[in-house]
Amino acid sequence: MTKLRAGFVGLRRGGGLVRSLASHPQVEITALCDLDTDSLGKMGQDFNLPDERLYTNYDDFLSAPIDFVVIATPIEHHATQTIAALESGRHVLCEQTAAYSIADCERIVNTVRKTGKVYMMAENYCYFHYIREWQSIIQQGRLGKIFHAEGEYIHEIRKLLIDPETGQHRWRYTRAPIWYCAHCLGPLLTLMDDRIIKATGVHSGKNIFPNEGLGFLDMEVGLFQTEKGSTIKILRSQVAPRHPEMVWYSLYGTKGFVENGRHRTHGYGSTEGYLYLEDEMTEQEGAKKIDCPTSDPNAPEEARKGGHGTSEFFMVRDFIDSINQNSKPPIDVVRAMDFTIPGLVAHEAAMQGGTWLDVPNFA
């Protein structure tokens, strides 16, 4: 069996993706790149890579023998690194979100079309086990038409905005909370089989840290109108004092509703939620409690290696299948922009005082 040769850039978060891909029988890890030589050396040893396959310079890394690149660097590098990898003839699996500007998103779309290479955005939350279970309920029509959905991703990461020891600003310092909306929008739009056409936003200012950067907006709220006429509301904060962090989804259909819980019950991100189906339950008994696990209980043991339940195991397999079959990956470049751009537009709208703005379509 010919193996696909993988190169990774950005080894902190990238470490989880490295582990997921390393367990794939058809993948061989051949090159690593990071500015931090300690992470580079350590991971190089884990995979028995010679020094000449460890790079601190991305352009040099692209001269390595690799078939695809996994990009897990800070978001401001995604567009440049994605485009360079595609233009050098490599397929790309890029962390979310795709980029920080609509112009960069458009450049990525054009480069994918020009090169014909596979591009997938690594939106792992779409692969949570409970999201896939809900997808099957929705596809069977048991919830009816979804007309409204909500998502909340409240994750206090102040230490990732400012280094607590040195006081140095880190890359997330200037990341507006709603820019990072793919963990909410990705699963919701997947379940609704829909896309956003208009967005607005509002934020509550900086009550917690009045003198800091955009990343310290206490709470940003995005409101969205979809192509099928449904509505979506998203809450995002990276500084609000709430522990543990939570990601929460709720979908209202013409025949019922489904939601996960806001508090973990067991395992990573697993909660107890509710499901109400008008045709299958009585009003008196009301919604029934449902387990919302991030891990697929039937997945093989190695599926838990990547992190975030078993989501990454299944996500990287879809990416490799797309390369092998030369097919469109589930989160292809157009879908990546459907999950990325509404957050950029909602923030712009919030800064303009809450006006409604159109969301461009790259389909």
Ligand X SMILES: NC(=O)c1ccc[n+]([C@@H]2O[C@H](COP(=O)([O-])OP(=O)(O)OC[C@H]3O[C@@H](n4cnc5c(N)ncnc54)[C@H](O)[C@@H]3O)[C@@H](O)[C@H]2O)c1
Rounded CA separation 18/50 (Å): 17
3-state DSSP helix/strand/coil % of the chain, to nearest 5: 35, 25, 40
Give the Cα separation of 165 and 114 in Å (integer). 45
CB 77, min distance to ligand X, A: 5
**Min CB(141)–ligand X separation in Å:** 31
Smaller CB distance to ligand X: residue 121 or 320?
121
> Minimal distance in Å, beta carbon 273 to ligand X?
20
The residue with its CB nearest to ligand X is 13
- The pair of structure tokens assigned to 62 is 């692209």
Q: In this structure, are residues 30 and 65 in contact, taking their beta carbons and an 8 Å threshold? A: yes
**Closer residue to ligand X in complex, CB, 73/226:** 73
φ/ψ (deg, to 5) at 61: -55, -35
Site membership for ligand X, residue 77 (CB under 6 A) = yes
**343: contact with ligand X by CB under 6 A:** no
- Rule CB under 6 A: is residue 95 a binding residue for ligand X? yes
- Contact yes or no for 3/26 (Cβ under 8 A): yes
DSSP state of 32: E
Please, what is the minimum distance in Å from the beta carbon of residue 228 to ligand X? Answer: 27
Selected binder of ligand X within 124, 200, 230, 271 (CB under 6 A): 124
Site for ligand X (CB under 6 A): which residue of 4, 6, 11, 93?
Answer: 11
Q: From the CB of 142, what's the least distance to ligand X, in Å?
A: 29
Q: Does 74 bind ligand X (CB under 6 A)?
A: yes
Largest CA distance in the chain: 68
> Does residue 246 touch ligand X according to CB under 6 A?
no
Find the shortest distance in angstroms from Cβ 94 to ligand X. 8
What is the total count of residues that contact ligand X (CB under 6 A)?
Answer: 22
Question: Amino acid identity of 266?
Answer: H
Q: List binders of ligand X among 21-60 (CB under 6 A).
A: 33-36, 39, 58
Q: Is 283 exposed, middle or buried (0-12, 13-18, 19+ CB in 10 A)?
A: exposed
Residue from the set 5, 13, 24, 158 that interacts with ligand X by CB under 6 A: 13
Contact 307, 293 (CB under 8 A): no
The sheet with strand 91-95 has its strands ordered as: 54-55, 27-33, 4-9, 68-71, 91-95, 119-122
Site for ligand X in 273-312 (CB under 6 A): 308
Q: Are 125 and 226 in contact (CB under 8 A)?
A: no
Which residues inside 170-199 make contact with ligand X, applying CB under 6 A? 171
How far apart are CB 126 and ligand X at their closest, in Å?
10
Q: How many whole angstroms from its chain centre is CA 202?
A: 22
- Quick check: 29 and 21 in contact, CB under 8 A? yes
Kindly state the tokens that stand for 135: 């997808």
CB of 266 to ligand X, least distance (A): 19
For ligand X, the binding residues (CB under 6 A) are 9-13, 33-36, 39, 58, 72-75, 77, 95-96, 122, 124, 171, 308
